[in-house]
Structure 1
Amino acid sequence: MLKDIYHVIERIHESDVKIVLTVSGAGSKALSWLLEVPGASNTLLEAHVPYSEKSMSSFLGTIPDNFVSNSTSLMMAHAAYKRAISTKPHNSKVIGISCTAAISTSRKRKGENQAFISFWSDLKRNTVHVKFNKEELTRIEEEELISQSIIEFLYVEIFGEGKETIRSENTSLTKIEFKNYLSALTSKQIESIEYFGETPNSSDSNFSGVILSGSFNPIHKGHINLLNLASQITNKPAAFELSAFNVDKPPLSIEEINSRLKQFETTQRILISNSPLFSQKSKIFPGSTFVIGWDTAERLINPKYYNQNEDIMYNAFQEIEEMSCDFLVAGRLSDGSFRELSALDIPSRFKQIFKSIPESKFRIDISSTQLRLTGLSE
């Protein structure tokens, strides 16, 4: 290891940034160097080397069209970022780093000797593309240069400064940056933002608690009282959740999201997500209890909302269960009658993830739709 690289890694380990690194084809020395310098446990959360096609497909959850490409490198970095989110200490800054490469080998191989190195964080994603002229360098030399580049560009990602060793007509850099969390969320760069009132607290916070999802257009006392009660019942921290994307409605604009945030008090936690389905929400907020009304529970167990496919419905419930999530169901006035969970035919396999709030503990017969129609607020 070069002395300069050693000192660069020392600085990286002194920072508060946590990383997940995944490499395939080249870049393994970067992992070795990170571990050789004291302080690695302050930086590295985990590392992956998906070398075979089957391993790479398993890591990404899909089969890439080209294993050594800009798009695959970004997919790897995004997967690494999501792993970092699920394993990070609370509110730590994280970066997912990837390298996919094809370099000199003992067999004849078509295509260029090249590497794609990507970085994914909450507000930006970058890819460095490095090409080598065949037979100019040995495999060991290419590996060294790629690994050195991973370390040096990581330094730049963290500190916004530094020198990059690989600088030639054979190197290119593409970068996408977002000016704020909401821009990043609506562009699918991040999956959630935690607010207190109108003030953003963190991105991809991995919140776990009791969550009341809704459009909150407008919020009313029924929402507030229900969430407070659910928090008392479950003994979990409480949060409202608003999805920027919906199954049967156009996505919310940034302006509309900001307008709805203005309704909340500074002591109230609000989660903005880009996931309209509870199976998706469960992966962003594992271990959470979702508070829903009787009418929502009725839709959740109706195959009509799964393209008349019960297998899709059962798979969705299984995903929710696997993420240690469940539902707390409040009664709702429907067609002139107050309906509770007991009136629903929950599939026996998943009855344990549905619990009822009895009418004696909660009943408020108002809705946001009624308030919009009457022009009133509660």
Structure 2
Amino acid sequence: MAAPLYKDVSKKATNVLNDDYDFSRKLKIKTKTANGVTFTTEGAMAANKSILAKLGASFVVPQIGGLTVSKLQVTTQGRVIVEADINNALVDNLKVTAKVEDGSRKTNASQVTKLGLEYKQPTYTLTKEFDVTANTASVSALAVVSGVTVGAHGAFNVNKSAVSDYGGALAYNGGDFQVTVATKKSLKTINANFHHQFDANTIYAASIDYDVQTAANALTLGGRYAVDKDTTYLGKVNSDGFVSLAVVQKVTPFLSLTTSAHIDAKHFEGDSHKFGLGLTIEIFASKRVQCAISLTGGGGNVSGEMLGTCGASSTLLEVSLPYYQQSLVEFLNLSPDVVQREVPTRFSFSSQEVSILMAKKSLERARALVPLDDAAKCEDECVGNLIVLALAKAARVDGASLQTALTVHELDTLTEHATEFDDSIPSSLMSTSSSSNSTTTTIALFPNNVILRDMPWKHMLVLPGSFNPVHQGHLEFALAAQRLLQSIDNKVVHTPLFELSLQNADKGALADVADLSRRVRALVDTHNQRVVLTNASLFVDKAALFPSCVFAVGADTAVRLVDLKYYGNDPAKLWLALATISSHKCRFVVAGRLVEGKTTILYKLKLNETLHTLPTIGFNVETFQYKAIEFTAWDIGGQDKLRPLWKYYYQNTDAVIFVVDSNDKHRIQHATDELHRMFGEDELRDSKLLVYANKQDLPNAMSAPDIGAKMDLRSVTKNPWYIQSCSAITNDGLFEGLEWLSKALE
């Protein structure tokens, strides 16, 4: 994670105290189109009855180096605002920014034109901005060391050939809290902020401004409390006696309501109180679809209405109406054995079974009418669907049934009945879905004879997983992988596609359709993500479905990719599978995790750099020198399956560096057992022991003495041992431990 920009050093506290309060009457409509353009329309009436309306848009132009227009806005006051940036411009981590504001003559607002550069690294950031209108250049710099942030800012007016502004900032981040002190306006104003994440639902903050010249100060205290995922309470009070309260309520997935009140406590009988009501509506445009429809019985009544609907000619491929029973038998190719069946259930023409068969028949007709390449164009970014519907007899069921490939929806009652997964579902089950906020889940089945490699899956970022449940980490991983690929693939944007396999190599088939529907809806409706369902349990099968794609996986999944048990314990089959994946031109992005942090510590000692590493699979060998001693370090992986191999690296070992995650109290006993077992081996009887109590920068980390006591280090070895608290990220304690070890080895 990159260090913050100088302008954002107090952002956490500021957001808590200012975000979501609005004391006007506001309506905001946010619409996202199929091609990724977001339109925002706002209208607000202030307490003085004045009305301000805004129309804005944001979008990405991948053809121009990934240009992002984050704000393109016009107002009823005649003001035009444009904000845009290009990330990773010229070099990695460098962002070029531009902001243009055209002032309105009605309001005498000034024109603004600013060009900027932002360069971010994990421990420092640099910002340079040139205000073309004011002819002023400004530079900001910020560095983070061991949780302490130091920053400085300066501005120079070219017209006056003089410094126009300067200031500085100092902050300390203690994990769940942050304290910031900043000077502004050429040291004329001092601002101090405090931000504390009390628990997962509660945040509070404080801010005080002090005017050096007048000795005046202004204090604000506030907080936020999330009752649940849909309701948040806000409150703040300042030293002038103003109390502000707000409630943010997510009424539906696309509708949010904000109620705010601003009360003058010192003049409670006065008329300076303010009340606001904000309504935000989010609309996501449906994708263009084409469908073939089968109707029978009373369901045939809707055919005329469908055909007369505007746009039907570009959506409907075919409407079939086999009304007479024998006509329906021939339409579905039903055998006499099926029609005359009495057990296990009697066959019925007005059953869900017939509805499902009609849906499958419609799918076959749609696939025959639309070439695969054309079908792929029905969805944004080539994620294609064909919606296949079948309406059963309305007179025989509770409302007309609408059947997609996996779910039957009751149109009148909005209840759902899951269909059974049976042998009739093809082995290459594929379904895709993306947000439409409609009453149906868009799903498609591709029959066995479809060559899926013809699907244009280019530039697709596939994230396999069970997503039970989907969480923020999945979404952040997708964004991180997307940014990484954009930086190495000549700015090409890879579209995330979440893949959920109905077959799991370890857990078997996912047969609970209600559970499957819940997972898909969480991704599609709640998080607006694209989803694909497959029956591909192994990556060699996934690669055949998604040639030329990039798979984004976690470190544990990467380990399973080369686990022989998935290949019948046959190394030849493993190598053949990897070669097959390679032949499909598939690539992998693997997300590492620090775990205990031993590899990070090793590279910190060798290179004095913080590297974000993968868990060690196998072992690494590195050589580094500290003072007069040359260390050859064998970095051995800690996975369960690798631990029996540790003993093969014990011979001629002078010292053992054992890294413990101080923040993981549940694994301390496990680490203790492994350490005692290690030093029970004869090869380590003369070895020194250095224990690093890592991750001391985290708020709930155990202290080194507590860890030493819990691990009973005194009884591990009779040789010299030492436990050192450290942080691989901040560098604290690393070289102190190495200093002890170098002396112990002399």
TM range, smaller chain: 0.3 to 0.5
Higher share of residues assigned strand: 2
TM-score (norm 1): 0.43
Give the greater-gyration-radius structure (CA). 2
Higher share of residues assigned helix: 1
Structure of higher RCO (CA pairs closer than 8 Å, 6+ residues apart): 1
